[in-house]
Structure 1
Amino acid sequence: MNFFKLVKFDFMNILRNPFLVISNTLLPLILIGIMGFVTKSSFGTELTTSYDYYGVKMVIFSVAVIAMTASNAFMEEKVIKGNLRIVYVPVSKTEIYLSKVVSSYILATFSYGLLLPIGQFLLQINYGGKNIFYVMLVLNFFSLFGCCLGTMFCCIFKNEERANAIMQIPLALFIFFGGLFFQIHRFGKVINDISIFSPIKWVVDCTFRIIYDNDFQLFLPVLLFLLLASVVCIVICQIIFRPEEYV
C-alpha cells in the first residue's frame, strides 16, 4: 500500500464520519451566525459588524479544533479494524502517522479554502478583501499545526478517548488566552501577558492586522512559528510512535 493510497483510505474514513464533516463545514457558519446575532447590539454603527468580528474568530476556533479531526482519523473506534490491517502491510511507520496528518490537512484546506470566499463574497463578511489570500494562508498553516498536534497526542497516549480528553486542556487554554470568546485584556495585565504564549493569540492578532490595518508585520513570524511547531510535533511522533501500539 503506497502512501497516496494510505492517505486516500484515511481521507475516506473522515468523510464517512458525519460529525467530522459537519464540524469542518457547517459548524463554523452556525457559530458565526449565533455569535454575530447575539452580540449584534454591542457593535453599534461601527464599520466592523459583529458578523465580521466573529466571522474571523469562529473560523479560527473551528480550525483550532481540527486537532480533534486528526485524532479521530487516527484512532476513532470505527476505523480501528482498517487501521489494524495497515500495521501488517509493508509500509514505514512514518507513512502510517503522516497519512493521518495529510488526510486531515486536506479536509481543512478544502473546507476553509471554500468557507472564506463564500463568507466574503456571498455573506459579506470581511476577510480582508484583496488580502483574503494571506488570511487563508495563515489559517492553512494553523490547520497544519492542528493536524500535527492531534496526531502527536494520539502517538503519545495511544488511545483516542485519552488523547482527546487530555488534548482538550491545552486547546481550551489556547482558546481562552487567544481571546476567541472574550476580550482577554479585560482580565488584567497578568492574564494579558500570559496570552502571548497562545498560538491562537498570534493567529488572531495577525489576521485582524491584515484585514483591518493592511499590516503584515506578524505574517511571516506567525507562519514560521506555526511551521516550526508542526515540525516539532512530527519529530515527536517519529520518536515515540510504534506500529505495534497502533491499535
Structure 2
Amino acid sequence: MNFINIVKFDIKNTLKNPMLLIINTIFPVIMIAIIGFITRSGYGSENITSYDYYGVTLMIFMGLMISMTATNVFLEESVRKGNTRIVYAPVSKAEIYLSKIIASYVVGAVSYAVIMLAGQYILNINFGGKNILYIIFLINVLSFFGSCLGVLFCCIFKSEQGANGVMQIPILIFVFLGGVFFPIATLGKNFEALSNISPLRWITQCAFQIIYDNDFSIYLPSIVVTLFAALICIILCQIIFKPEEYV
C-alpha cells in the first residue's frame, strides 16, 4: 500500500463521516448567519458589516478547528480499527501520520474554499474581493497547521478523547486572544498587547489588512511563521509517534 493510496483511504473515511462533513461545511455557514444576524446592529459605520467580520474570523476559527477533524481521522474508534492493517503494511511511520495530516487538510481546504467563494459571490460577504484567493490561501495554510496540531496531540495522548480534551485549552485561548468572536481591542490595551501571543491574532490582522487596506505587509511573515509552526509539529510527530501504539 503506497502513500497515495493511504491518503485516498483516509479521505474516503473522512467523507463517509456525516458529522465531519457537517462540521466543515454547514456548521460554519450557520455560525456566520447566526452571529452575523445577532450582531448586525453593531457594524456598518465603516463599510464593514457583521457578516463581513464574522465571515472572515469564523473561517479563520475553522482553519484551526480542523485539528478536531484530524484527531477523528487519526484515532476515531471505527477508523482506528479499520486502519490497523496499515501499521503492518510495508510503509514508514511517517507515511501513517502524514496521511492523516494531508487527508484532514484536503477536506478542510476544499470545504473552506467553497464556502468563501460562495459567500463572496452569492451572499455578498467580503472575503477580499479581487484578493479573495490570497485570503483562501492564508486560511489554507492555517488549516495545514491545524491538521498538524491535531495529529501531534494524537501522537502525544494516543486517544481521540484525550487529544481533543487537552487541545481545546490552547485553542480556546488562541481564539479568545485572536479576536475571533469580538475585537479584542474592546477589552483594553493590556488584552490587546497580550493578544500578540495568539497566532490567530496575526492571521486575523493580516486578513483584514488585505481586505480593507490592500496591505500585504505581514502576509508573507504570517504564512512563513504558520508553516514553521506546522513543521515543528511534524518533527515532534516523527519523534513521538510509535506505530505499535496506533493499533
**TM, length-normalised to structure 1:** 0.97
In structure 2, the partner of 1:168 is 168
| One-letter code aligned to 1:222 | S
* CA displacement 1:48-77 (0-9 Å, x = unmatched): 111111111111111110000001000001
Q: Residue 13 of structure 2 contacts residue 79 of structure 2 at CA under 8 Å; is this kept in 1?
A: yes
| One-letter code aligned to 1:144 | F
For residues 122 and 242 of structure 1, do their structure 2 counterparts lie closer, same or farther at Cα, with a shift above 3 Å needed? same
Q: Does 1:142 align with 2:142?
A: yes
| One-letter code aligned to 1:174 | F
How many Å separate the matches in 2 of 1:71 and 1:117?
27
How many Å separate the matches in 1 of 2:73 and 2:124?
33
Shift of 1:189: 2.5
3-state SS in 1 of match to 2:83: helix
Structure 2: gaps (5+ residues):
none
Q: Does 1:109 align with 2:109?
A: yes
Counting only pairs closer than 5 Å after superposition, residues 9-158 of structure 1 correspond to structure 2 as 9-158=9-158
In structure 1, the partner of 2:212 is 212
How many Å separate the matches in 2 of 1:206 and 1:183?
14
How many Å separate the matches in 2 of 1:154 and 1:169?
15
In structure 1, the partner of 2:199 is 199
* CA displacement 1:153-209 (0-9 Å, x = unmatched): 001111110000000001000100001112212323332212111111011000000
How many Å separate the matches in 2 of 1:194 and 1:46?
26
In structure 1, the partner of 2:243 is 243
3-state SS in 1 of match to 2:125: coil
Q: Which range is displaced more, 180-189 or 224-233?
A: 180-189
**TM, length-normalised to structure 2:** 0.97
Shift of 1:83: 1.8
Aligned-residue Cα RMSD (Å) equals 1.0
3-state SS in 2 of match to 1:123: coil
How many Å separate the matches in 1 of 2:231 and 2:61?
22
Shift of 1:98: 0.3
How many Å separate the matches in 2 of 1:43 and 1:225?
31
Q: Residue 44 of structure 2 contacts residue 50 of structure 2 at CA under 8 Å; is this kept in 1?
A: no
Length, aligned pairs only: 247
| Superposition misfits of 4+ residues, deviation over 6 angstroms | none
| One-letter code aligned to 1:216 | F
How many Å separate the matches in 1 of 2:209 and 2:96?
38
* CA displacement 1:121-174 (0-9 Å, x = unmatched): 000000111101111110010000000000000011111100000000010001
Q: Does 1:190 align with 2:190?
A: yes
How many Å separate the matches in 2 of 1:155 and 1:201?
27
Q: Residue 24 of structure 2 contacts residue 111 of structure 2 at CA under 8 Å; is this kept in 1?
A: yes
In structure 2, the partner of 1:5 is 5
3-state SS in 2 of match to 1:180: coil
How many Å separate the matches in 2 of 1:57 and 1:113?
14
Structure 1: gaps (5+ residues):
none
| One-letter code aligned to 1:104 | S
| One-letter code aligned to 2:157 | F
